[in-house]
Chain A
Amino acid sequence: MSYANLYEAPGPRGVRRNRLLAGAVLLVLLAVAAVVYVRFDAKDQWAAEKWLPLLRADVWGTFILPGLAGTLGAAVAGVLLAGLFGLVFAVARMSEHRWIRVPAAAVVEFFRSVPLLLLIFFAFFGSYMVIGVNISAFAAVVFGLTLYNGSVIAEIVRAGVQSLPKGQREAAYAVGMRKSQVMRLVLLPQGVRAMLPALVSQFIVLLKDSALGLIVGYDELVDRGLNGIAANFSNVIPAAILIAAIFIAINTSLDRLAHRLGAA
């Protein structure tokens, strides 16, 4: 979308003024960059020996790739389980039976409003007292991701189904389908499809949230990259920039996918 309607097409003087302003903006941005550069330089964060390790195969093999595998592992497990949780609770919340609908709504609303970190802490530090075994950091992270994102996904799917024209349901009943068939064969596929972009956005949130794993000592990308690499080469800033770049690359490609799915 263009916002050119917010201003007049500039005339000759306007063009000149805009150029001047553009120059000024550039100068300000450069000045900020320069201050950051100088300050980081004073801490030697631009020194070659802090950046070169990021190019070494053994650094990737020891830290970045295992970290990436940890992040993606938690994210994939989280997406699958949260998707399942979301579908089940979306359907339950749309049930005709009050005794299914009300508890499902309570569960979804509860997990949506509790911070993910509290869920992870509860699972990780409290599991022994509750179920008698200590669960792994991976399990704690996936537990949190599933309940929190699953609840959000349940709401997305429910909104998708409710956005469908009433005729879809009526027609399905008219051809003699049973209640479960109407939901499974007619409403859910269309509802999920209508909500694909929102679902992909939620998966991006989930992927980013998996970085909370480092707080309970799960070996994911931020932990391996920031703590692992920086501990060996004391290059916090280069490592942080690289890790951020990896996340941004993955997430923007998922974002593009969401846009394409939305357009299709």
Chain B
Amino acid sequence: MEALLTERETILAAFWMTIRLTAVSALGSLVLGTLLTAMRVAPLASLRAAASTYVSVARNTPLTLVLLFTGLGVGANLGVELSDDIATNNFWLACIGLTAYTSAFVCEALRSGLNTVPVGQAEAARSLGLGFVRTLRLITLPQAFRAVVAPLGSILIALTKNTTIALVVGVSEASVRMREMIETYGDQVIEIFLGFAAGFVLLCLPMGLLFGWLSRRLAVAR
């Protein structure tokens, strides 16, 4: 226990990094995922093809490879520099990788949500003279969102756990700290593991409860 207590400051800092990675990537994936969903159902075949190719590539590539590619490809070879500070730069690169990966899953969830909206909703919107964008924005997407609150919650929880892989682009979050601590305090391996595991349980459990409650509250009664 004493290792966890002595190092509580650095552990909290590591988890704070985990939380920041999660928050930024969650926001990014929500925006990009919604955009991808709109593209996948758009009247233009080229938009549909681009979005569905993107989704199947991102979904079927290991996140480790996506993040390595972000670090080596986008960072080193494309020369994208988001900050002069290496740690900040790595943070943003990790967010890009996590967003690129997670938004594919957001898109899948949201599209299945669109399937639950009765055809009549869109038809009524069209008969009022709404075009594609406004039909989607005002009528079908809001209902789709309310239908997929629970799956979005699972995606957010998965994202929280996935931020541990950001260590491959050099972000020092919870998993890095745990490895260092196991090496330093070899005699307290089990306590250290349970401590870090508890951190993630504390992060993920309330999220699951919140999204479960939200999904019941926001469910569209039909």
Does residue B216 face the partner (Cβ distance < 8 Å to A)?
Answer: no
Q: A236 and B73: CB pair below 8 A?
A: yes
For B125, the closest partner residue in chain A by CB is A6
For B160, the closest partner residue in chain A by CB is A115
Chain A interface size range? 35 or more
Q: Considering the complex, which residues of chain A in the window 39-64 have a beta carbon less than 8 Å from any beta carbon of chain B?
A: 39-40, 42-43, 45
Does residue A73 face the partner (Cβ distance < 8 Å to B)?
Answer: no
- The 8 Å CB contact of B162, one of A1, A26, A115, is A115
Over the window 112-126 of chain B, the binary record of Cβ atoms lying under 8 Å from chain A Cβ atoms (1 yes, 0 no) is 001100010011001
Which of the 9-residue segments B4-12, B25-33, B86-94, B164-172 touches chain A?
A: B164-172
> Which B residues fall within an 8 A CB radius of A?
40-41, 43-47, 50, 56-57, 59-65, 68-69, 72-73, 76-79, 114-115, 119, 122-123, 126, 131-132, 135-136, 140, 157, 161-162, 164-165, 167-168, 174-175, 178-179, 182-183, 186-187, 189-190, 192-193, 196-197, 200-201, 204-205
What is the CA–CA distance of A214 and B65 in the complex, to the nearest angstrom?
10
Q: A129 and B186: CB pair below 8 A?
A: yes
For B182, the closest partner residue in chain A by CB is A125
By a CB distance below 8 angstroms, the chain A residues around B46 are: 22, 25-26, 29
What is the CA–CA distance of A115 and B165 in the complex, to the nearest angstrom?
9
* Beyond A126-B193, A255-B60, 5 additional pairs, beta carbon < 8 A: A6-B132, A29-B46, A115-B161, A115-B200, A118-B175
Tell me the dominant secondary structure on chain B's binding face: helix
- A71 to chain B minimum Cβ distance, whole angstroms, is 9
- B102 to chain A minimum Cβ distance, whole angstroms, is 13
Q: B131 and A212: CB pair below 8 A?
A: no
- The 8 Å CB contact of B56, one of A22, A116, A236, A248, is A248
What is the CA–CA distance of A255 and B52 in the complex, to the nearest angstrom?
14
Q: B62 and A222: CB pair below 8 A?
A: yes
What is the CA–CA distance of A5 and B68 in the complex, to the nearest angstrom?
40
Q: B78 and A39: CB pair below 8 A?
A: yes
Does residue A232 face the partner (Cβ distance < 8 Å to B)?
Answer: no
By a CB distance below 8 angstroms, the chain B residues around A99 are: none
Q: B136 and A6: CB pair below 8 A?
A: yes
By a CB distance below 8 angstroms, the chain A residues around B135 are: 6-7
Q: B50 and A117: CB pair below 8 A?
A: no
Does residue A98 face the partner (Cβ distance < 8 Å to B)?
Answer: no
Q: A29 and B50: CB pair below 8 A?
A: yes
What is the CA–CA distance of A82 and B187 in the complex, to the nearest angstrom?
29
By a CB distance below 8 angstroms, the chain B residues around A240 are: 65, 68-69, 72-73
By a CB distance below 8 angstroms, the chain A residues around B68 are: 222, 226, 240
For B40, the closest partner residue in chain A by CB is A3
For A249, the closest partner residue in chain B by CB is B60
Q: A247 and B44: CB pair below 8 A?
A: no
Does residue A188 face the partner (Cβ distance < 8 Å to B)?
Answer: no
By a CB distance below 8 angstroms, the chain A residues around B205 are: 113
- B90 to chain A minimum Cβ distance, whole angstroms, is 16
Q: B178 and A121: CB pair below 8 A?
A: yes
Q: A125 and B179: CB pair below 8 A?
A: yes
